[in-house]
Amino acid sequence: MYNFDEIIDRTHTNALNTDGFRGYIFHADETMQFPFKDEEFIRMWVADMEFATPDVIIDAMKERLDRRIFGYTSLFGNEYYNAFASWCKRRYDWTFDASDLFSSNGIIPALYELVEYICKEDEKLLFLTPSYAYFKYAADFNHKEAVCCDLVCEDGYYTIDFDDLAEKAADEKTTLMIFCNPHNPSGRVWTEEELAKIADIVSKNNMWIISDEIHCDLLRKGLKHIPMGKVMPDYTRLITAMAPSKTFNIAGLMFSNILIRDLGLRAIWKERHYGFDNPLSIVAAQAAYEKGEPWLNELSAYLDENFKFVGEYLAEHLPKAKYRISEATYLAWVDLNAYFTPEESLTMFFAYEAGVLLEGGNMFVQNSDGFIRLNLACPKATVAEGLKRICESVNSKK
């Protein structure tokens, strides 16, 4: 019903993906040259999608445009809460109070703020590595020490070293864990047992935990997301972050849900957070949760096929690559250590040799050398061309 094969031109829309990659990936300006023209790149890097946002969302924004005034706006009343809460009930069998819900212009800005509000001067924050780099940036920005727990990877399957985690969490200066559930970049959907162990370690040490669940709507068929809020129903030092941004390709609308239980933290948030939202973003998010499910179901099936295709293609053309279909996200995480030395920048290699923009392991804090992250939220034809170029460039590598 929806056409995920359509190739949509994003150039000259101020999209980071097309127009801003030099700055973000290479910390360079427009003088940086490649053996490819910009429009010749296959772009499989930043986590937004090449698919059109569903019509139900665009229609809601159009209706709001017709109201013609765009003054200061925030979440008033219960309409948005009802839409989002019913999404969570339906999909995760999880409920939360309206008073828990706050909005933020993105999860990243909320992380930066929450670290500031939660961690005192010499306190540290903990996360699992490889990691989405902004967890580390949130620590750096607030001059807090980042404590990393390396995940264990066996045959491409990542698990948590709970002994290491327990030891690091026991440090009384480590007061906050930022937890990615499901995990970017490994794609793991943590099991109930794993979540219970995390909950146990966190609560024993009376730590704060921010559960970043931004990828929770994007799971492979048959898998189920368990919100940390369900595992720790009464734990007040839990903050949950969810958003329609990844799910419905509206990251640029900068709207996310931050669920805060602790009354003291809520008071600080209310006092210090800049509490306005974009009027178009609110209606978009509400429409997504109310009417976006049929689109998401089709998208999920399309993504499942892309993941399958990548596995088959790599097995044939790059047999020493280690790959496992990600349980969640639209991001593939591929181990190319058989073909590269740990010092090589894979981001550079594939940009220059293959004309593919992707994120190399160096962009995920640590414990990620020799890996690439590929964004598969693209039309099949784009994924196929990207994979062809990747495999050819590796196979002709000197």
Ligand X SMILES: Cc1ncc(COP(=O)(O)O)c(C=O)c1O
Positions touching ligand X (CB under 6 A) are 47, 106-108, 132, 180, 184, 212, 214, 243, 245, 251, 256
Q: Which two tokens stand for residue 338?
A: 């058989």
Cα–Cα distance for residue pair 280/212, rounded to 1 Å: 24
> How near is the Cβ of 330 to ligand X at its closest, in Å?
10
The least CB distance from residue 47 to ligand X, in Å, is 4
Distance from CA of residue 201 to its chain's centroid?
24
As given in the structure block, the two tokens for residue 7 are 């190739």
- Count of alpha carbons within 13 Å of 222, Cβ hemisphere only? 3
CA dist., res. 332 & res. 314, Å (int): 12
Residues 48, 8: contact at Cβ < 8 Å? Answer: no
Cis ω on the peptide bond leading into residue 130 (within 30° of 0)?
Answer: yes
Nearer to ligand X, 57 or 318 (CB): 57
Nearest residue (CB) to ligand X, 105 versus 393: 105
3-state DSSP call for residue 146? strand
Nearer to ligand X, 109 or 156 (CB): 109
User: Residue 246 corresponds to which tokens in the numbers above?
Assistant: 């990844």
- The minimum distance between CB 284 and ligand X, in angstroms, equals 14
Q: Which residue is nearest to ligand X (CB)?
A: 106
In the complex, the smallest distance separating the C-beta of residue 391 from ligand X, rounded to whole angstroms, is 26
Minimum distance of ligand X from residue 245's CB (angstroms): 5
CB of 149 to ligand X, least distance (A): 16
Minimum Å gap between C-beta 251 and ligand X is: 5
For ligand X, give the closer residue by CB, 49 or 387. 49
Nearest approach, Cβ of residue 336 and ligand X (Å): 21
User: Given phi > 0 = left and psi -120 to 50 = alpha, else beta, which region is 87?
Assistant: alpha
Contact 21, 45 (CB under 8 A): yes
Minimum CB–partner distance for residue 260 and ligand X (Å): 16
CA distance 278 to 257: 14
d(CA 170, CA 156): 29
Q: How far is the CB of 212 from ligand X (least distance, A)?
A: 5
Q: Of the two residues 46 and 265, which places its CB atom closer to ligand X in the complex?
A: 46
- The region, left, alpha or beta by phi > 0 then psi within -120 to 50, assigned to residue 71 is beta
Which is nearer to ligand X, 177 or 214 (by Cβ)? 214
Task: Return d(Cα 282, Cα 78) in angstroms, integer.
Answer: 12
* Nearer Cβ to ligand X (184/205): 184
**Which CB sits closer to ligand X, 106 or 370?**
106
Report the alpha-carbon distance of residue 337 to residue 299 in Å, rounded. Answer: 31
Nearest to ligand X of 313, 371 (CB atom) = 371
Q: What secondary structure letter does DSSP report for 354?
A: I
Which residues, at least 6 apart from 97, have a Cβ–Cβ distance to it below 8 Å?
Answer: none
- The answer to whether the beta carbons of residues 222 and 216 sit under 8 Å apart is no
Closer residue to ligand X in complex, CB, 128/383: 128
Cα–Cα distances (Å) from 354 to 3, 38, 45, 369, 396, in that order, read 28, 13, 14, 19, 11
